């Protein structure tokens, strides 16, 4: 052994001894108390943004605001504090965001909205509050919840457009502002009108970049960089105006901010198939779960993108109520680095609700991807579309609001491995009713559809909350189906963990660090 190596070992040993002595001995020579584990406490503040729901004059929008009852995110009342001994009244409020038009973009519809009423606000956990808006006057909204109303606060906007080029049922869970978003399954095709809505909830301006990736790679444009989003404003940008490249059926949209933060979502309208919101997909990962494909889907298209330097070879599997299978003739998808790949999956579900599972074909070569599904129900002129982005497993609790009696299907999916138990709660109704809960066991590698969990004496709409109890990872999605005039209008929302609790490190006074 070399002398240098022996010297390094000696130094390391001496440092370890000093460190150990310092951690076990207080300045006065007594033993210092051991550090406590972090405490999990309810969050004190939560923020959300809702984009402009529609510019159609015949649109009807319902906002549903809801905070789950305490119990799923740790103990403690969670009262917001304004200072020592001063307790603030908990609030959950929404307010208007101004609409603007960026350079290189086009305001959706081009009409000046009417001044609407701000939706009702939550006052008590466990009971949803609703508000309705008609026509093109519904604005983008920003909001915040504090105190006991913050943990798990969710706002759902549901819009029915019965006629026109954007007809359909459009549903979206209003999202938290962030600095990066991925949207596979967008499009610049001639029959599509896809707008990415950027909403800034803060008092300072934000600057965003939008990158578009097609089957051959990045779609170059001079309008996608440095898009200003003024304070407390929303900016809709028509994707097809951002590039002079040929129209693409499948495009991946990447939104980042240079400064500030925004909420982002894509409003997708197909003149033949219908319309809905495309929410952001989960962060890039080598495994992806896309839950809640309806049993009567007539067409499913998978779109995936590999943002790293390596290509991805994906194994495609369908998680059904009876087990996990490989779709006939569509078991593998090759995704080139920096390029968008798509795969059509006709007659995928065959009468049973399911979820798609993407895993590396070679487990030794995992490559992160983002993915989403475009789902079609109906045939001929009576069709409607919805989107299912890849979503993360529910770690503690997740909620989707605005569910209706005899119109809601909850899909619970557990990948192969370990079975799981989950607690599902149907809240009190917005107009009355008593909350009910049920523990559901989902076998490993299966999807379970729940259609009969409804509040007792329901009046109005209700929220569904999913909480893992034990076992393997659980993924969930809600389908809301409101058929109209022969068209099977529907929308699908995945359950995203509400991050209603955070780990707070335990701290103690230690004057010894000043020695």
Q: What are the E-state strand segments in 206-362?
A: 206-214, 217-218, 227-229, 233-238, 251-259, 263-270, 274-278, 288-293, 297-305, 312-320, 323-325, 332-335, 340-344, 354-360
Report how far apart, in Å, the C-alpha atoms of 463 and of each of 254, 267, 479 are: 31, 23, 13
Burial of 346 (0-12, 13-18, 19+ CB in 10 A): middle
User: Hey, is 484 helix, strand or coil?
Assistant: strand
30: tokens are: 């007594």
Among candidate residues 508, 507, 504, 506, the one with its CA nearest the CA of residue 42: 504
Among candidate residues 259, 262, 256, the one with its CA nearest the CA of residue 202: 262
- Domain ranges within the chain, ordered by starting residue: 44-283+391-502
pLDDT at 448: 98
Among candidate residues 133, 149, 148, the one with its CA nearest the CA of residue 65: 149
- Rounded to whole angstroms, how far apart are CA atoms 9 and 384? 69
pTM tops 0.95: no
What is the 8-class DSSP label of residue 459?
E
- Rounded to whole angstroms, how far apart are CA atoms 65 and 355? 28
- β-pairing, 227-229 vs 263-270, is unpaired
Run means of pLDDT, 10 residues per run, the chain, 515 residues: 36 34 40 62 92 93 93 37 45 76 44 52 89 87 92 96 90 97 97 96 96 95 86 95 92 97 97 96 98 96 97 97 91 96 91 96 96 96 96 97 97 98 97 97 98 96 98 98 95 95 71 55
Helices (H) and strands (E) in the chain, counts: 1, 39
Q: Which helix (H) or strand (E) holds 285?
A: none
Asked if 113 and 101 count as a contact pair (C-beta separation under 8 A), the reply is no
pLDDT at 299: 95
- For 34, residues 6+ apart whose C-beta sits below 8 A from its C-beta are none
pLDDT at 8: 32
- Rounded to whole angstroms, how far apart are CA atoms 250 and 370? 13
Asked if 494 and 480 count as a contact pair (C-beta separation under 8 A), the reply is no
Residue showing tokens 């099977």: 488
pLDDT at 514: 57
Q: Which helix (H) or strand (E) holds 15?
A: helix 3-24
- Rounded to whole angstroms, how far apart are CA atoms 254 and 260? 16
- Rounded to whole angstroms, how far apart are CA atoms 371 and 389? 6
Sign of the alpha-carbon dihedral angle for 452, 154, 294, 290: negative
pLDDT at 388: 98
Full 3-state SS string of 294-336: CCCEEEEEEEEEECCCCCEEEEEEEEECCEEECCCCCCEEEEC
pLDDT at 501: 87
The backbone region for 95, taken as left when phi is positive above 0, alpha when psi lies in -120 to 50, beta otherwise, is beta
pLDDT at 33: 55
- Rounded to whole angstroms, how far apart are CA atoms 422 and 322? 18
Going edge to edge, which strands form the sheet with 370-379? 340-344, 297-305, 370-379, 382-389
Residue showing tokens 């475009």: 374
Query: Longest Cα pair distance anywhere in the chain, in angstroms?
Result: 86
pLDDT at 508: 61
pLDDT at 122: 82
């Amino acid at each position: 052994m070399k002398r240098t190596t022996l010297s390094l070992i000696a130094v390391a040993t001496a440092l370890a001894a000093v460190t150990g002595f310092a951690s076990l001995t207080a300045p006065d020579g007594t033993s210092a108390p051991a550090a406590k584990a972090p405490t999990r406490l309810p969050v004190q503040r939560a923020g959300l943004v809702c984009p402009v729901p529609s510019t159609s004059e015949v649109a009807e929008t319902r906002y549903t605001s809801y905070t789950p009852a305490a119990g799923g995110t740790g103990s403690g009342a969670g009262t917001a504090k304004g200072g020592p001994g001063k307790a603030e009244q908990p609030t959950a409020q929404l307010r208007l965001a101004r609409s603007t038009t960026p350079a290189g973009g086009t305001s959706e519809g081009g009409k000046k909205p009417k001044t609407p009423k701000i939706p009702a606000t939550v006052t008590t956990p466990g009971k949803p509050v609703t508000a309705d808006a008609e026509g093109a006057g519904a604005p983008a909204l920003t909001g915040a919840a504090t105190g006991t109303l913050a943990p798990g606060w969710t706002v759902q906007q549901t819009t029915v457009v019965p006629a026109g080029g954007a007809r359909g049922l459009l549903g979206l869970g209003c999202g938290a502002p962030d600095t990066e978003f991925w949207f596979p399954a967008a499009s610049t095709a001639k029959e599509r009108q896809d707008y990415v809505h950027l909403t800034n909830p803060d008092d300072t301006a934000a600057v965003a970049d939008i990158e578009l990736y097609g089957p051959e790679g990045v779609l170059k444009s001079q309008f996608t960089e440095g898009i200003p989003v003024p304070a407390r404003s929303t900016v809709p940008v028509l994707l097809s105006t951002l590039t002079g490249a040929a129209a693409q059926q499948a495009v991946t949209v990447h939104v980042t901010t240079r400064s500030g933060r925004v909420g982002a979502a894509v409003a997708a309208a197909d003149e033949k198939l219908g319309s809905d919101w495309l929410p952001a997909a989960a962060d890039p990962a080598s495994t992806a779960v896309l839950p809640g494909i309806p049993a009567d889907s007539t067409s499913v298209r998978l779109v995936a993108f590999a943002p790293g330097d390596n290509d991805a070879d994906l194994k495609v599997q369908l998680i059904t109520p009876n087990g996990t299978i490989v779709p006939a003739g569509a078991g593998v998808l090759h995704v080139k680095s920096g390029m968008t790949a798509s795969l059509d999956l006709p007659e995928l579900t065959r009468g049973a609700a399911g979820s798609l599972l993407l895993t590396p074909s070679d487990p030794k070569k995992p490559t992160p991807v983002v993915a989403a599904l475009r789902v079609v129900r109906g045939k001929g002129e009576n069709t409607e579309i919805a989107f299912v982005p890849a979503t993360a497993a529910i770690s503690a609790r997740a909620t989707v609001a605005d569910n209706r009696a005899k119109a809601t299907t909850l899909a619970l999916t557990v990948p192969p491995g370990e079975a799981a138990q989950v607690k599902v709660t149907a809240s009190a109704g917005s107009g009355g009713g008593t909350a009910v809960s049920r523990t559901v066991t989902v076998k490993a590698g299966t999807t379970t559809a729940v259609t009969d969990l409804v509040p007792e004496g329901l009046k109005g709409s209700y929220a569904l909350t999913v909480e893992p109890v034990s076992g393997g990872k659980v993924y969930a999605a809600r389908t809301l189906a409101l058929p109209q005039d022969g068209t099977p209008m529907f929308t699908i929302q995945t359950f995203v963990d509400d991050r209603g609790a955070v780990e707070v490190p335990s701290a103690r006074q230690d004057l010894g660090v000043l020695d």
